Structure formats: structure tokens, C-alpha cells
Structure 1
Amino acid sequence: MRPIVGITMGDASGVGPEIIAKALRSDRVYEQSRPLVIGDAKMLERAAEIAGIPLRVNRVNLPSEGLYEKGTADCIDLDLLPADLPYGAVSAEAGNAAFHYVKRAVELATDRRIHAICTAPLNKEALHLGGHRYPGHTEILAELTGTKDYSMMLSAPKLKVIHLTTHVGLLKAIETIDPERTYRVIRLAHDTLRRAGIERPRIAVCGINPHAGENGLFGNGEEEEKLVPGIRRAASEGIDATGPYPADTLFFRTVRGDFDIVVACYHDQGHGPVKVLGLEAGVNITVGLNGGIIRTSVDHGTAFDIAGRNLADEGSMLEALRMAAELAPKDF
């Protein structure tokens, strides 16, 4: 049975409604899943009209009421926004709505009414103006599911990256890393890739310092203190985890095929290489959420500068939907 993937609309002042409408033109989406939009139906209708897409929006209250047919977008309509919400502007209304779309999706996933969540981008400033003080989607999902041990994974063609830390400053990130966190993220990477069909994932850990510290030449021994014990623990349990390796060559080696996934120590160390490969092909995945909830997302922002102009590319949304269907639990 095709999994039901709940697609949250994100910040409706951005490109979220447009990339959703465009993605729902794809035969592949309906072959892989049953897509269910969670947002404001009128925003989806407006985006489809701007993009010239003949899309009928079917308002439903529960996932079981969806038709899941190409040409019809099934939508749980929270009806939180005015019809004339301006494109490209930071708005407390849109930020608040984006939070409630995610909240409803988590409720449905927790009740096992949907199999996975796929999120369109939100705007952090708008989210804060709307009264929700979170750094981003990952932290919202963690709190709503009561999850403490989670991580952000990025996936692009030939490269997957999982992070020890994400939305914190660099000094705080290095302070936060410890052997337990290193081990836990390696374990999350291993379990997630096994679920996706890789029998024995090859996991490589980045160093924190240039040249992974080069035997103490750079830094203050952070690799030996914070990374190596976690790597050794994972390896002792039969996980193929190695490192730490110099970050300046590790991503090249992974794209070449030496490894299946890289463990990055901080946000930009992992995000930069993935985004060089193309924003349109990147997928953001939250792994380790309680209840086995899978969440994928486009790997780009709200793009306020092109919102409402029929310029947004749906490629990353298509990849995010594909990954959500692939990783969705099969035991519902």
C-alpha cells in the first residue's frame, strides 16, 4: 500500500504552496505515495492558479477521506490565513500558521493516520513573530514528539550527511559534542540507512579541526576527546564507522563512493558540500524522532524574492516526497 505522506505548507508567503502544487503534477508522486497537504487550501489554489496548473483542491478532515488521484490535491484545511496574504513578506500570521501545520502533521503521524511528514520551508523570523521561538523545523518536531536524541540528515545525489550539531554557534557546537553524542548520531545513521536498504552502511566521521587535528598539531585534542571514543564504541558493536577524517577531502571521497554517509560536526561543515551539489536535489531528513516518525524536507528556504512569480523549482520537493515514501514505516 502506498504510504500517506503529510505535506506541510510551510510559510505561505514563500514558495511552499507553489512547489507543492507543481510537485503534485508528477505521476511519480502518486505511484510512490498518497500525498496529503496540510495547510490552507486557498493558498494552494492561489499558487496553482499563478503556476497555470489545473488542480482541484479537495478539502478533507481526515486522511481517510482523501481521493489520492492525480489532478486532485487532498488538503486538510486549517484555514488560518487571509486570502490576500502578501507574497515575499515576513508575517506573524504566516509564521503562526506554519507552526500549526507542523503540529497537526505530528498529531496525525503520532495517531498513525499518516506514514511520514514532508515539510515545505518556513521562515524563522516569521515563526518567532508568530510566537514560536524555535530555530527551525527540527527543533519543533523534537519538542512536539518529546524527542531528545535526534539529528538532521541531508541527502543529495551521491552524498548523505548527518550532523552532530546544527543550529548553534560554532563555539557552542564544539562545546556540545561529546563521545555519547558522537556514538548516538553514528547509530542513527546506521539504523536509518539500513531501513533504506543498505545492509552495512559505511559511516565516516569528520574531524573538528583542520586535517582532523593532525595528531594534536591543530586544536586542543578535540578529536581524541570528543569523537574517537564514540567511533570506537560504535565499531565495537559491529557498525562500520571510521574516522575522524579531514573534512577537506572526506566529502570528495564520499561522492566518489568510498563511504555511504558522512557525520559532520557542525552545521556549515555538512550543509556546504550538499548545497554545492544543487539546491534542487537536496533533501533534509530528521531522524530519531519518537514513534518512528519520518520527516523529510526540501533543502532550501522560503525564497521570498521569487514567491508568487511562478519561478520556483519543485525538484527538491519531489526528492523529499520520494525519500519520505522510501523511509516510511511499512508496519502500519
Structure 2
Amino acid sequence: MSTHSAQTTTLAERIATLDILRGFALLGMIIVHFHQRFRLSWPAEDRVGLPGEWLVGWTAWWGLEQKSWAAFAFLFGVGFAIFMRRAEAHSRPLVTLYLRRLGVLALIGIAVEALTGFAILLHYAIWGVPLLFVRRWSTRVLLVLAVISAMAWPAYRFGVGVHEWLTRDQAATVAAAPPAVSARAAPPDTYTEVVTRRLGNIQRGVLSWRVLIPGSSFVLFILGFIALRHGVFDEPKRHLRLIVTAMVVGLACWLIFWFGLQKMPSAWTDWSDNAWPLRYGLGVISEQWLAFTYMGAIVLLLAYRPWWTERLAILGVVGRMALTNYVLQAIAIDLLSSRFGFALKLRPYYYGASALLLFAALAVVSYIWL
């Protein structure tokens, strides 16, 4: 096989792998969204019903919720990196094209959040901008930036908690004014009022100083950027040790989070309302890193058993239109679950089947469009 053919085959396999990963992340998110939007009661009451029914919610929470979002963010980072690499390879105006792309993503994100309440794309658009300025930094520096970004918000809140604890005696001497009782806003009467309130929340969020503090999405963007830079998806077999290490670290963080940090004695965190970062590993030991275990398993499966690419083709075709299908599932789920739509509710046993039906519908749309 010629070098050109080998490179072409590698590129095709890489794209197929990324599409399948995106489809996998979307499927997980849809299952989680069914759990969030269609459940009949709050988690504490979900134990009432058919035997073992409450386990469905726990499975979605423990196994999918943060992990699906993490995989989606990581793959967005990979997508940003691919766009940059292609633009630079063809000597195109990277900065203009990239910022224009993020601007369009921001507009889509605002529309989706205002109309459906799904808030993620605007955040991606905002934190995609810094990638443009750090793209030439060394991998080591980028990893340091990722750790700092992961710790930024938890460390700030923990610092606030420490300050409150150190000044508790001084604060106790100050006469406390009667707490102000704020009137809770009445539920909106119309869908127009819902959209108006959401737009107001978006404006306040964007103008808040909190938007300047990076979070896990930016961390995952950086890691996705690094993965593409080092050819993890181009040559997964050559990076076997790195992929397996990421899988082990992801699983270890998940285990430590749920069976270590969440079992922490309450005395360690009861001293302040802002001591919660201790239970969340200061943002570094996070249960969402289990996404790397999932993604690594799929990458290695496709690398060593390439015939699985065809078997998982339905994931790939949905993943090829990841952004469009994310928007479509948001519209469909909001229409079906909202009280201004069909206001449907489902027993937990039906979450998975319903999610698969919606995913299959997205696959049909994708096949027709592509």
C-alpha cells in the first residue's frame, strides 16, 4: 500500500472513530435527558413503584450523566483542533474563520437554551475562544493549564469557606439583620414568558464574573486538543499505553469519588457551606473522568476489531451530525416533556427504550440528510 493510501485510510478510520464516539455521547445524553425531563417524581420518591425501578435513575446518574457530557465536551475540543489544523494546512484565515464559527455556535446555543432550556452550546462557544490563544503552547503547559482550570472554581469556593471559618467570631459579633424574604417568582403562564425569563437568565449569566472562571468543559477541550495533536485517534495502537492509562485513571477517579470522597465524614465538611469542594476532589478527582474509560474502550475496540466500525454504523451516522442532532433531540425532548408541549411522563423502565427510539429517529434523519 502506498504512503498516500495509508494516510487516506488512517484519516477515514479516525473520522469514523470520532463519529462513533460522538454518537455514543449523544445516546448517553439522550438517556440522561429522559431521566431528567420525563420522570414522575423526585429521586427520593422514585423507590416507590415497580421493584428495582429506582435503580434506573441511579444507573443514569452514576454511569452516564456527567460522563456523557464529558465525552461530548472532549469531542468538541477534538473538533475545534481539527478545524484549526485544516485551516492552517490550507493557509486559510484561521482566526476569522474560527471566531465566526464560534459566533454561529453561540447564536445556536442562545436559541436552544431560550427555546428548550438545554444550556451547553453557548458555554462551549465562550470557552472555545481561549483555545485559539493557547493552541501553540506546549503539551506540558497545556496540561498545567487544564489542572488549574479544573481547580479554579472549587478552589475559589473552598477559599471562601476558609475565610468564613477564620472570621466566624468576628462575624458573630455583628448584629444580624432580619433575613430578607424574597418573593419566589410565580410559574410562567405562557411559553413566551418562559422564553423571556430564559433570555434574561442567559444575559445575567454572560455578564456575570463567574463566566470568566474556567470549568470542566474547558479542561476537556484542552485534553481533546492534546489528544488530536499527539495522534491518539490517527494511530491508537501506537498510543495503547496512553489510552489504557487514561482508562485506568478515569475508572480510579470514579471509584475514589463515589466510594471515597462521597463517604467522607461529615465533620470534615460541616464547618462551612463552601467546604463542598473537598467532596468533589477540588475538581481534579472527578467522577466524570470515567468518560475516558468509555471512550478508550471504544477507540481500542475499533482499532483492534475494525469490523465493529460497520456494526456501530448507526452511532457513526448520528455522530456525523452531532451538533444538528443535539439540537433536534433538545427540541423533541422539550416538546414531549414540557407542560407547554405534551407534558409526557414515563416510568423509569421506559427511559432506555424511549431514548433508543428517539436515537433511531435521529439516525433516520441523518441517513436521509447525508
Q: Same fold (TM over 0.5)?
A: no
- Normalising by structure 1, we get a TM-score of 0.25
Higher-Rg structure is: 2
Q: Which has the higher contact order (CA 8 A, sep 6+)?
A: 2
User: Which structure shows the higher strand fraction?
Assistant: 1
